[in-house]
Amino acid sequence: MIGAGLAVLLWPVASMAMDAQHPTIIYEGTATTLDSASPFANSADLWVTLADLTRATGFELKPQGVCRREACYPLPKKTRSEFLAKQGSVEWFNLSAFARLLHQASARDAQFDYWYFGPQPVAQNDFLSTLDAPDFTLPDATGKMHSLSDYRGKKVLLITWASW
């Protein structure tokens, strides 16, 4: 279902790239077609060259881990081979495994070979640093709309429920 929704969302872009031999990554809203196709064709994961990793995501491999700006994520030593592989003279990085390590959602449209990576949990939960809940508006039992910001400075108890 996610793949079908992604295909519909990307139809104008994907229709132009149907003949492309290289996957396209959508990372932080920017689409990047990779320069190299993965030699791991049977893998369910997305393997990218280190150059494509940096070009598509801004991350680069350093001795301390996978880094972008001031954020560095060390790769677990026991499972380092899950993230890195060498084919000939080219070193490949498993971007899908890295996304799982960061608890970052991802989806693939296999038909068009598009990969979408959602926001990193750090960005998803950025409001936690201030402990300010994001504003929202919902109706009460009578249909009157209320915004959380209407109660700023007052004590509020939020009760949520989900069917899943």
d(C-alpha 147, C-alpha 50), whole Å = 46
Q: Against a cut of 0.75, is the pTM above it? A: no
The two beta strands, 106-109 and 114-117, are: antiparallel
| pLDDT tens by residue, the chain, 164 residues | 455 444 445 444 444 444 446 899 999 889 999 988 888 878 899 999 999 999 999 999 999 899 998 888 999 889 899 999 999 999 999 999 999 998 899 999 988 889 999 987 765 555 555 667 778 888 888 989 989 999 888 888 877 777 77
Torsion angle of C-alpha atoms 8, 42, 93, 4, degrees rounded to 10: 10
Is-contact 66 59, C-beta < 8 A? yes
For residues 80, 73, 102 and 57, what is the CA-based torsion angle, rounded to 10 degrees? -100
What pLDDT does residue 66 have? 94
One-letter-per-residue 3-state SS of 135-148 = CCEEECCCCCEEEH
> So what's the pLDDT on residue 54?
96
Write down the domain spans for the chain: 2-124
Question: Within 17-152, where are the H helices?
Answer: 50-57, 80-83, 95-101, 121-124
Q: What pLDDT, on a 0 to 100 scale, did the predictor assign at position 14? A: 44
The pLDDT score that the predictor gives to residue 17 is 42
